[in-house]
Amino acid sequence: MGSSNLVFGVLCLLGNIVVTLAKSNRDICSPDTLAVYRIKMDSHWYKNSFPKQYPTSRPPAQFSRLHGIVHNSSYILWREGLEATPEVRLIAEKGSGEILEQRKGVRDVFAAGRILQGVGMTETIFYSDAKHTKVSVISKIVPSPDWFVGLDSIELCMNGYWLNNLTIEAGPIDAGTDEGFTFTAPNWASEPQSPISMITSKNPSHPANSFYYPYLNELPPLVTFHFIKERVYRANNKRLCFGPKHKKSKFSKISTVVVPLPDSTSRTLHKRLHARRIYKKAASEFNNWKISGLSLE
Ligand SMILES: *[C@@H]1O[C@H](CO)[C@@H](O)[C@H](O)[C@H]1NC(C)=O
Ligand SMILES: *[C@@H]1O[C@H](CO)[C@@H](O)[C@H](O)[C@H]1NC(C)=O
């Protein structure tokens, strides 16, 4: 902690602009911190591993956008054994739709691009604060009736520290809203809806099921999720660091303006935190402040 506090102090003296870029390995998830994570989804839907009915055309094997949400323990995006919500149903059946952010207990929503083959990678970043330390994601398996891959409420604050990185393998999940057994089964709504369930090599226990490999104990992983802690921002509660205009911001106490970093992470973060205006102001007040890698349009 020592050296990052020093950096923080010095930068604040320079310009009364808040900034910290503590990239230490141990960052306490205290209420004045904001953690930025990169999430990557690697897909392993190889024809060799999943030869049965492997979709090769119209459409070939692929994955929809990866939708994600950062939340507290009161919110559930999807959970095994529960019925899919309408928004999860829409994503699982059509691969379209959005996850709504205006919910109790939600801090951030994000999405990463589609993977247009069975094997590929998609990634994005998101942020999390000490009150919202859980992340859930969902991506539709295409083609499929209502199958998806995803994660339910992964905890990012472990024993009081922001997790450095985490790797999780995952398999197919049935949203329970469509009766289809095979990748290309026609739409046939489940009435009533079934609970969300894991698809395994033996379940649903039906030879027509596209993931039915009764001689396997387990399916090979269909995807792997990686969470990588990019940085942790620490707040400075001095008023100067955040103007009155930003009172409405949920981050008004976590006054966060970021030093320019020449990568897309900081640009996205700026956008997300509506920090652009603050940054502009800061930049005009402190002419010597070097701006690099940041577009201020
Ligand atoms: C989650 O956030 C909501 C809205 O701020 C709040 O009402 C709820 O109590 C929170 N849940 C927990 C477990 O803190
Ligand atoms: C994950 O964290 C461990 C321990 O901090 C580190 O050794 C490893 O290099 C990290 N892996 C990635 C992919 O960042």
Q: What domains are there in the chain, each with its CATH number?
A: 3-283 (2.60.40.2130)
Bridge partners, 9 (sequence order): none
H helix or E strand, kind and range, residue 198? strand 197-198
Distances (CA, A) of 102 to 33, 57, 75, 93, 250: 22, 38, 12, 23, 13
pLDDT computed for residue 222 by the predictor: 97
pLDDT computed for residue 233 by the predictor: 67
pLDDT computed for residue 32 by the predictor: 67
pLDDT computed for residue 260 by the predictor: 33
φ, ψ at 282 (rounded to 5°): -60, -45
> Which of 119, 170, 128 shows the shortest CA–CA distance to 38?
128
Find where tokens 């539709």 sit. 140
pLDDT computed for residue 279 by the predictor: 40
pLDDT computed for residue 124 by the predictor: 86
Ligand 2 centroid, distance to 227 Cα (angstroms): 10
Residues in the chain: 297
pLDDT computed for residue 25 by the predictor: 67
Smallest-distance ligand from the CA of 105 = 1
Distances (CA, A) of 14 to 18, 171, 285, 287: 10, 50, 12, 12
Out of 69, 70, 72, give the residue to mutate to test ligand 1, the one with the largest number of ligand atoms within 8 Å of its CB.
72
Find where tokens 């090599």 sit. 201
pLDDT computed for residue 186 by the predictor: 79
Q: Record the tokens describing residue 59, joined without a space.
A: 């459409």
- Site residues for ligand 2, CB cut-off 6 Å: 25, 164-165, 228
Ligand 2 centroid, distance to 25 Cα (angstroms): 9
List of E strands, 72-156: 106-112, 119-129, 134-142, 147-155
Q: Which residue type occupies 31? A: P
- Residue 44 CB partners (closer than 8 Å, separation 6+): 118, 119, 220, 221, 222, 223, 224
Task: Give the span between the Cα atoms of 251 and 32, in whole angstroms.
Answer: 9
- For 253, other C-beta atoms within 10 Å of its C-beta total 12
Ligand 1 centroid, distance to 74 Cα (angstroms): 6
pLDDT computed for residue 21 by the predictor: 40
pLDDT computed for residue 118 by the predictor: 97
H helix or E strand, kind and range, residue 254? none
Bridge partners, 7 (sequence order): none
- Written as tens digits, the pLDDT of the chain (297 aa) is 333 333 332 233 332 233 334 445 678 888 767 788 889 999 999 999 999 999 998 899 999 999 999 999 999 999 999 999 999 999 999 988 877 777 888 887 888 889 999 999 998 888 888 889 999 999 999 999 999 999 999 999 999 999 998 999 999 999 999 888 899 887 778 888 999 999 999 998 888 899 999 999 999 999 999 999 877 766 543 333 333 333 333 333 333 333 333 233 444 444 444 344 434 443 333 332 222 222 222
pLDDT computed for residue 235 by the predictor: 53
